[in-house]
Structure 1
Amino acid sequence: MRIEVLGSGCPRCKQTYKIMQMAVVETGKEVELIYETDINKIISKGIMATPAVAIDGKVVISGKIPTLEEAKQLIQNTQ
């Protein structure tokens, strides 16, 4: 599984990355976690609001910081 946190590097984006890191640890899943700050790559994915999270190329969160529980659910519900 590949999870991308997409954002400009602002505090909200950094917080989203930290939450996703904690969720990965707590779920124990094998995950490649990436923090993407390249604005051109973010726009190319059609994201207009950050922070955003994409799992295996599909944007699942845009414009908000997920809770730890939301992040864990996203990871657990993705095969």
Structure 2
Amino acid sequence: MKIEVFGTGCMKCKRMYDNVTEAVKKAGVQAEIVKVEELNEIVSRSVLMTPSMFIDGEEVVTGRVPTVNEIIEILKEEA
């Protein structure tokens, strides 16, 4: 599983990355977590609002910071 967190480095984006990291550990799933901060990459992937989270190339959260528990539920659905 590949999880990408899109954001320009703001506090919300950092919090989402931290929540994703914690959720992956708590859920016990194998995942590569990638932080995408390059504006060109964000635009090329058609991300309209940050922070955004993609799992295996599919946008699952946009424009808000989900809780750790919410991310765990998303991970279970995607597994």
Range into which the TM-score falls when normalised by the shorter chain:
over 0.9
TM score, norm. by length of structure 1: 0.96
May I ask how many residue pairs the two structures share in their alignment?
A: 79
Task: Give the letter for the 2:59 counterpart.
Answer: V
Root-mean-square deviation over aligned CA pairs: 0.7
The residue correspondences of 1:1-79 to structure 2 (distance < 5 A) are: 1-79=1-79
Question: Percent identity among equivalent residues?
Answer: 34
TM-score between the two structures when normalised by the length of structure 2: 0.96
CA–CA distance in structure 1, aligned partners of residues 70 and 41 of structure 2: 25
Which structure 2 segments of 5+ residues have no match? none
Gap regions ≥5 residues in structure 1: none
Runs of 4+ in 1 over 4 A off after TM superposition: none
**What is the alpha-carbon distance in structure 2 between the residues aligned to residue 76 and residue 23 of structure 1?**
11
